[in-house]
């Protein structure tokens, strides 16, 4: 028994010694990472922090190493990879001060990527135990997030908490101004208009890692600013994981307008009806396709729509075509733009052809929307989409 006890004691001592050596090597690598960060050698810093993460056995130390690797990537301008490291830190250890640091880091990643909805969420989670100067910088970024999301009361509240006089760093952040930056934008050729590209794919968890939309076709989307959209009301709800698309028509009187001015006026009319008469937070649809084939941004995709009634709105992108397709035909340009939009969204959000609905289908026949003409069009698009997805299925 004595010999067995000595053996156990010896083994425990060796394990403890090994753990200490591992911790020492990890700490040394992490120290190198901080030194490289200070010297702005971000590639070397990232490598040192990644080495520290591999060497560390303690979850907290491993998380700190991942945070360092993420900050090195963020400083190097690679926010997408930085987020992967931040979320890995969150996965291995999410307690105490490290949790707050991780939430702030994730917020920084999304702030750089200009996804202000998610940046706001994580910044607000990471406000604990912040030094005064760093707290002011985070508050300033929260002001920008809320301002971009049209939440003026929250933006005002965060700004009131800033220490006076404002530092030059805080002033530079506040000067950024709202630009609807949570969606990347490109110039419309020859138009000088801002056209947000499709937003990134949210994976099954809340940790969204932005990426460019796939596909070769060019998809121009005319932004809300170009039809003078009203801001959404405060009862607007965030969009969850996107998993379906529903096609509508506006119905009612025939719409025959062929210019952008005609379409903008009609979209404003729809938004006013939805907000004022229906009491909804915003226009109910996410995209509008006019008779000339122009695609317009309606409700932002970071917000759940109001177009399919109740729970059917969850994760559901609403697309509406201007016109009454119980009584008129679809223009070739409209048909082409609708299919391109559906294909891009389906590939981008991994939506199957079976999850592309008409309003009548998702409402179990309780409406005539979108009319027989558009219904036939949607069936054709769905079949083309099914063939396209099968053709690109891995292994086939």
| Cα separation, 297 vs 286, whole angstroms | 6
| Pair 249, 120 in one domain | no
- Range picked from 1-10, 24-33, 334-343 for highest mean pLDDT: 334-343
Q: Show the tokens assigned to 288.
A: 């509008």
Residue range 218-276, pLDDT digits in tens: 678 898 988 999 999 888 888 888 999 999 999 988 899 989 999 999 999 999 999 88
For residues 233 and 99, membership in a common domain is answered with no
CA distance 45 to 70: 10
Using DSSP, state whether 331 is helix, strand or coil.
coil
Residues 244 and 358 in one domain: yes
Q: Please name the residue that has the structure tokens 């960060």.
A: 37
Host domain of residue 329: 217-391
User: Helices then strands (H, E): number in the chain?
Assistant: 13, 8
**How many independent structural domains does the chain possess?**
2
pLDDT-derived band of residue 389, with 50, 70 and 90 as boundaries?
low
CA angle 13, 28, 101 (to 5 degrees): 105
Average pLDDT, the chain: 79
Claim to verify: residue 236 and residue 123 sit in the same structural domain = no
Residues 347, 334: contact at Cβ < 8 Å?
no
Is 50 a domain residue? yes
- Tokens 């190097």 sit on residue: 76
Average pLDDT of span 52-58: 84
What is the per-residue pLDDT across 93-131, written as a single tens digit (0 to 9) for each? 888 888 888 889 999 998 988 878 788 888 888 787 777
Q: Which residues contact 271 (CB under 8 A, 6 or more apart)?
A: 229, 230, 282, 283, 298
Q: Do 121 and 240 reside in the same domain of the chain? A: no
Task: Report yes or no on 270 lying in a domain.
Answer: yes
Is there a domain that residue 280 lies in? yes
Same domain, 106 and 229: no
Q: Name the residue with higher pLDDT: 201 or 179.
A: 179
Contact between 358 and 369 under an 8 Å Cβ cutoff? The reply is yes
Comparing 232 with 52, the larger pLDDT belongs to: 232
Cβ distance 63 to 102 under 8 Å? yes
Report if residue 229 sits inside a domain. yes
CATH number at residue 33: 1.25.40.10
Q: What is the pLDDT of residue 154?
A: 81
pTM: 0.49
For residues 46 and 73, the answer to whether their CB atoms sit within 8 Å is yes
Sequential DSSP letters for 11-51 = HHHHHHHHHHHHHHHHHHHHHHHHHHHHTT-HHHHHHHHHH
Residue 223 and residue 125 share a domain: no
Rounded to whole angstroms, how far apart are CA atoms 133 and 120? 18
Distance CA 349, CA 358 (A): 18
| pLDDT value for 390 | 60
Does residue 317 carry a pLDDT above 50?
yes
- 103 located within any domain: yes
Pick the last residue of a domain from 129, 161, 182.
Answer: 129
CA distance 311 to 346: 20
Which is higher by pLDDT, 232 or 12?
Answer: 232
In a domain, 94, yes or no: yes
Report d(CA 55, CA 35) in Å as an integer: 18
For the chain, give the longest Cα–Cα distance: 96
What is the number of other CB atoms lying within 10 angstroms of the CB of residue 272?
13
Predicted confidence (pLDDT) at residue 310 exceeds the cutoff of 90: no
241's torsion region: left (phi>0), alpha (psi -120 to 50) or beta?
beta
φ, ψ dihedrals at 236, nearest 5°:
-70, 145
Report how far residue 24's alpha carbon sits from residue 32's, in angstroms, rounded to the nearest whole number.
12
R_g (Cα) of the chain, nearest Å: 26
| Confidence label for 375 from pLDDT (cuts 50, 70 and 90) | very high
Spatial contact of 355 and 245, defined as CB atoms under 8 Å apart:
yes
**Count of other CB atoms within 10 angstroms of residue 8:** 10
Answer yes or no: do 236 and 115 share one domain: no
End position of a domain, from candidates 111, 129, 147: 129
> End of a domain among 129, 153, 185?
129
Nearest to 32 by CA among 16, 48, 18: 48
Q: Which helix (H) or strand (E) holds 340?
A: helix 332-349
Task: Provide the terminal-to-terminal Cα distance of the chain, rounded to the nearest Å.
Answer: 64
CATH of the domain at 292: 3.40.80.10
Residue 181 counted as domain residue: no
Compute the distance between CA of residue 308 and CA of residue 305 in angstroms, rounded to an integer: 8
275 and 384 in one domain?
yes
Would you say residue 156 lies in a domain? no
């Amino acid at each position: 028994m004595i010999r067995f006890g000595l053996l156990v004691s010896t083994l425990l001592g060796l394990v403890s010694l090994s753990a200490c050596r591992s911790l020492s090597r990890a700490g040394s690598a992490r120290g190198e990472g901080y030194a490289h960060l200070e010297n702005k050698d971000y590639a070397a810093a990232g490598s040192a922090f990644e080495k520290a993460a591999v060497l560390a056995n303690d979850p907290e130390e491993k998380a700190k190493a991942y945070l360092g690797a993420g900050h090195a990537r963020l400083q190097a301008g690679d926010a997408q990879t930085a987020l992967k490291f931040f979320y890995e830190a969150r996965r291995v250890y999410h307690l105490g001060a490290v949790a707050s640091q991780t939430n702030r880091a994730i917020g920084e990643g999304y702030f750089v990527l200009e996804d202000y909805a998610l940046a706001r969420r994580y910044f607000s989670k990471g406000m604990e135990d912040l030094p005064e100067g760093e707290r002011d910088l985070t508050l300033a970024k929260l002001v920008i997030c809320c301002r971009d999301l049209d939440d003026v009361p929250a933006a005002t509240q965060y700004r009131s908490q800033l220490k006076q006089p404002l530092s030059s760093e805080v002033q530079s952040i506040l000067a950024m101004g709202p630009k609807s930056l949570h969606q990347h934008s490109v110039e419309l050729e020859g138009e000088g208009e801002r056209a947000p590209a499709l937003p990134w794919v949210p994976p099954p968890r809340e940790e969204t890692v932005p990426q460019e939309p796939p596909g070769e076709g060019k998809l121009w989307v005319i932004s809300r600013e170009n039809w003078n959209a009203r801001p959404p009301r405060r009862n607007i709800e965030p969009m969850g994981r996107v998993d379906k698309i529903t096609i509508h028509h506006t119905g009612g009187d025939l719409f025959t307008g062929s210019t952008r001015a005609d379409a903008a006026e009609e979209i404003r009319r729809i938004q006013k009806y939805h907000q004022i008469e229906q009491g909804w937070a915003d226009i109910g649809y996410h995209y509008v396709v006019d008779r000339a084939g122009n695609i317009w941004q309606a409700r932002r995709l970071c917000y759940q729509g109001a177009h399919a009634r109740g729970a059917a709105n969850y994760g559901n992108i609403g697309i509406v075509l201007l016109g009454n397709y119980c009584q008129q035909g679809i223009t070739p340009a409209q048909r082409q733009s609708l299919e391109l939009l559906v294909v891009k969204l389906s590939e981008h959000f991994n939506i199957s052809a079976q999850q592309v609905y008409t309003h009548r289908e998702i409402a179990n026949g309780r409406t005539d929307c979108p009319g027989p003409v558009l219904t036939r069009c949607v069936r054709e698009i769905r079949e083309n989409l099914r063939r396209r997805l099968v053709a690109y299925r891995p292994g086939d």
